[in-house]
Amino acid sequence: NAGVTQTPKFRILKIGQSMTLQCTQDMNHNYMYWYRQDPGMGLKLIYYSVGAGITDKGEVPNGYNVSRSTTEDFPLRLELAAPSQTSVYFCASTFPGANVLTFGAGSRLTVL
């Protein structure tokens, strides 16, 4: 039982490049969330999904896109990387109404 798995753990991107952060969970959780963690700013919600085919914007969605084609996977895409997107990204999931999040280990992204 792996829980929430994020890949890659680390990545360096050049400005303007694109990439996808992968997130998969094996707990059959319907709800999945993406956060970014910046020093002094805490965790900010980027996007979330309450089920396959349904996604919603969070607090800081600009510059990101998501899709949810299966219950297990919730990838986060950066289309044109900018230095402001340098951060640690966390994926999390939970059952509907439970609200107790299980977090992945995080993906550290640096944009140069």
Partner 1 sequence: AQRVTQPEKLLSVFKGAPVELKCNYSYSGSPELFWYVQYSRQRLQLLLRHISRESIKGFTADLNKGETSFHLKKPFAQEEDSAMYYCALAMNRDDKIIFGKGTRLHILP
Name which position in 56, 82, 83, 95 contacts partner 1 (CB under 8 A).
Answer: 56
Q: How many residues bind partner 1 (CB under 8 A)?
A: 25
Give the whole-angstrom CA distance, residue 67 versus residue 80: 17
- Encoded one letter per residue, x for contact with partner 1 by CB under 8 A and - for no contact, window 71-110 reads -------------------x-x---xx-xxx-xxxx----
- Nearest to 7, CA basis, from 112, 94, 104, 81: 104
CB 52 within 8 A of CB 68: yes
Give the nearest distance from C-beta 99 to partner 1 in angstroms: 4
Determine, following the binding rule CB under 8 A, whether residue 52 of this chain makes contact with partner 1: no
Determine, following the binding rule CB under 8 A, whether residue 53 of this chain makes contact with partner 1: no
Determine, following the binding rule CB under 8 A, whether residue 47 of this chain makes contact with partner 1: no
Name which position in 12, 15, 41, 80 contacts partner 1 (CB under 8 A).
Answer: 41
Q: What are phi and psi of 49, to 5 degrees?
A: -145, 135
CB 86 within 8 A of CB 108: no
